[in-house]
A and B are shown apart, each in its own frame.
Chain A
Amino acid sequence: MLCYAVAEGTYVRQGPQKKQTMKQLDDSSHNLIEIRNLKFSRGHRVIFKGLDLDIKRGEVTAFMGPSGTGKTTLLRLITRQLIPEEGTIHIGGIDIATLNMAELYRLRQRFGMLFQNGALLTDLNVFENVAFPLREHTKLTNRLIRHVVLTKLHAVGLRGAADMLPSELSGGMARRVALARAMVMDPDILIYDEPFVGLDPISMGVIVRLVRRMNDTLGITSIIVSHDVAEVSTVADCSFLISGGKVAASGSPDELRTAKSELVRQFMHGMADGPVAFHYQAPDYEEQLLGRDAE
């Protein structure tokens, strides 16, 4: 039996990895990811001060919040690209802080991540970008790799762009190729960092439907970080509004939309005035324009 590779249809991992110490994910619990008392800061700036949240298996979960609240940082903490100062993150019952590098890499093979800018490898063409995880982690034949890659590219509508280089793609196309690459290993958890930014309405609709369909048909757990309230509302089962280093509110999009909290109302309805100040901390406007500094 292979570590972490319990999902049906997961490809055979390379030999040496089988010899590593095995830690089995608990695939039966309701919550796939549990975060408790998470504290993290960058320099003197506190990002999280005791964050608690649960991500349910098989659901689309969204992290929303004003800019700079640490949504992307939270994704990086969940994938252990960053290490928290305090608190625990359990994925499938395993505290990810206890994993060594080999175990962490095996856990990451169950993740697919869509980066904000796509993060395609610029020296490889579209086909090789999507084939990259398969070539690195499996011993599939070239014919089978071709089959899998073309299937994934077809799903995002870019089978015809297989021979193009990343530099020849538009922003939206690059994002769709990156999505094909993120799902090529049939992951259990798909993470999307701002997937809707800069997409035209057609691409956005395709991506939104794709996220929902993959979640429902393949049983993937999806995590989305986005500002886009309207799009998130159509796709997410549960949303967390993060503000001030904690979860300010959580619930289904409908629950958030009708919430009484000032902060939630300000964010969901895009109001300039409210608990979140539009202006960054600054001296008095009049004083600065007309005061001594102006001379």
Chain B
Amino acid sequence: MTSVVRDLFNTSVEFVRTFGAFQLFSLRVLRHSPEVLLGRFGLVVKQVFNTGALSLVIIMVCGLFVGGVLGLQGYSNLARFNAEDSIGVFAAFGLIKELGPVITALLFAGRAGTALASEIGLMKATDQLSAMEMMAVNPVPRVLVPRFLGGVIAMPLLVAVFSMIGLFGTHLVAVELLSVDVGAFWQQIQITVDMEDINEGIIKSIVFGVAASMIAVWEGYNAVPTAEGVGRATTRTVVITAIAVLVFDFMITAVMI
């Protein structure tokens, strides 16, 4: 019993210590962000390509199928109330406010977050970060901040692409396959969806972008510099990002609803 209490206490202390270190690390990254954004934008653009453009295929394919599923589910449920014309609104709300940001963030963690964490972890394991320090180059603004900013910029763009392709997927299923009236489909979206709804999606995508990118660079930078350590850091990136995204999603929805 005593050992259980002691383990619980040690784990709690370790959690608080790690969380505190993460916050200090986040402040360091944020402190250097303006200078990198203004002075070394080329590095950021390269990372937007690495994290954003290279994630486009997975985002577009998943978006298309998620939209298609929304079309099928929406039709079968709304048809019970003879409201199948509202399927466009149903899908638009679902995609823009919830599914777009959340699924994109989860896919981002799996595709780009793991790539970031393992790249930085391997740079550490192969002494590249130490070599930079020895060349009097601070690795935080040179390596970490561009990758963080790349992720933050890429996420809202990916969410926008996901939502658009998703809506197109719903259109394909509902209009082309299930013969819902195309005019009603798009007109109801135009009338019902407000800028407020889109803002909710934008806010979520920015928050998820900051969280997912920060967790990925943190895990990579703090990875144990061995093959096993980098592997663990990569796994933790996906797990922690998934939890953080869903918790933030609940909090933002609760505030904005």
Contact with A along B223-241 (1 / 0, CB 8 A): 0000000000000000000
B239 CB to closest chain A CB (Å) equals 27
B112 CB to closest chain A CB (Å) equals 16
Q: Which B74-114 residues have a C-beta within 8 angstroms of A?
A: none
Of B122-130, B179-187, B203-211, B247-255, which stretch is located at the interface?
A: B122-130
Asked if B8 CB lies within 8 Å of chain A CBs, one says no
Q: How far is the CA of A119 from the CA of B142 in the complex (A)?
A: 16
B32 CB to closest chain A CB (Å) equals 13
* Cβ–Cβ contact A137 & B128, under 8 A: no
Q: Which B122-148 residues have a C-beta within 8 angstroms of A?
A: 122-123, 126-128, 130-138, 142
Q: How large is the interface on B (under 10, 10 to 19, 20 to 34, 35 or more residues)?
A: 10 to 19
Q: Which A104-145 residues have a C-beta within 8 angstroms of B?
A: 105-106, 108-109, 111, 113, 115-117, 119-122, 132-133, 136-137
Q: How far is the CA of A178 from the CA of B134 in the complex (A)?
A: 12
A117 / chain B contacts, CB cutoff of 8 Å: 126-127
B131 / chain A contacts, CB cutoff of 8 Å: 113, 115, 119-121, 178
A137 / chain B contacts, CB cutoff of 8 Å: 136-137
* Cβ–Cβ contact B136 & A119, under 8 A: no
* Cβ–Cβ contact B136 & A115, under 8 A: no
* Cβ–Cβ contact B128 & A113, under 8 A: no
B178 CB to closest chain A CB (Å) equals 48
* Cβ–Cβ contact A105 & B138, under 8 A: yes
Q: How far is the CA of A184 from the CA of B138 in the complex (A)?
A: 18
Q: How far is the CA of A178 from the CA of B131 in the complex (A)?
A: 10
How many CB-defined contacts (below 8 Å) exist between A and B?
A: 51
Q: How far is the CA of A181 from the CA of B133 in the complex (A)?
A: 14
* Cβ–Cβ contact A108 & B127, under 8 A: no
B133 / chain A contacts, CB cutoff of 8 Å: 81, 108
Q: How large is the interface on A (under 10, 10 to 19, 20 to 34, 35 or more residues)?
A: 20 to 34
B166 CB to closest chain A CB (Å) equals 33
Query: Assuming the A-B contacts A113-B131, A115-B131, are A122 and B126 also in contact, with contact meaning beta carbons closer than 8 angstroms in the complex?
Result: yes
Q: How far is the CA of A136 from the CA of B135 in the complex (A)?
A: 9
Q: How far is the CA of A178 from the CA of B135 in the complex (A)?
A: 12
Q: How far is the CA of A133 from the CA of B134 in the complex (A)?
A: 10
* Cβ–Cβ contact A120 & B134, under 8 A: no
Q: How far is the CA of A122 from the CA of B131 in the complex (A)?
A: 12
B141 CB to closest chain A CB (Å) equals 11
* Cβ–Cβ contact A108 & B128, under 8 A: no
B128 / chain A contacts, CB cutoff of 8 Å: 119-122
Residue of A nearest to B134 (CB): A113
Asked if A79 CB lies within 8 Å of chain B CBs, one says yes
B132 / chain A contacts, CB cutoff of 8 Å: 121
B131 CB to closest chain A CB (Å) equals 4
B51 CB to closest chain A CB (Å) equals 14
Q: Which A90-105 residues have a C-beta within 8 angstroms of B?
A: 105
Query: Assuming the A-B contacts A119-B127, A122-B123, A122-B128, are A81 and B135 also in contact, with contact meaning beta carbons closer than 8 angstroms in the complex?
Result: no
Query: Assuming the A-B contacts A115-B131, A119-B131, are A108 and B126 also in contact, with contact meaning beta carbons closer than 8 angstroms in the complex?
Result: no
A121 / chain B contacts, CB cutoff of 8 Å: 123, 128, 131-132
B135 / chain A contacts, CB cutoff of 8 Å: 108-109, 132-133, 136, 181, 185
A115 / chain B contacts, CB cutoff of 8 Å: 127, 130-131
* Cβ–Cβ contact A111 & B126, under 8 A: no
5 residue pairs A–B, Cβ–Cβ below 8 Å: A111-B134, A116-B127, A133-B136, A136-B135, A181-B135
In the complex, given contacts A105-B138, A106-B136, A122-B128, what are 20 additional A-B residue pairs having Cβ atoms less than 8 angstroms apart? A81-B133, A105-B136, A108-B133, A108-B135, A111-B134, A113-B131, A113-B134, A115-B127, A116-B127, A117-B126, A119-B126, A119-B127, A119-B128, A119-B131, A132-B135, A132-B137, A133-B136, A136-B135, A136-B136, A181-B135
| Residues in B lying within 8 Å of A, measured CB to CB | 122-123, 126-128, 130-138, 142
3 shortest interchain CB distances as A-B pairs: A119-B131, A119-B127, A105-B136
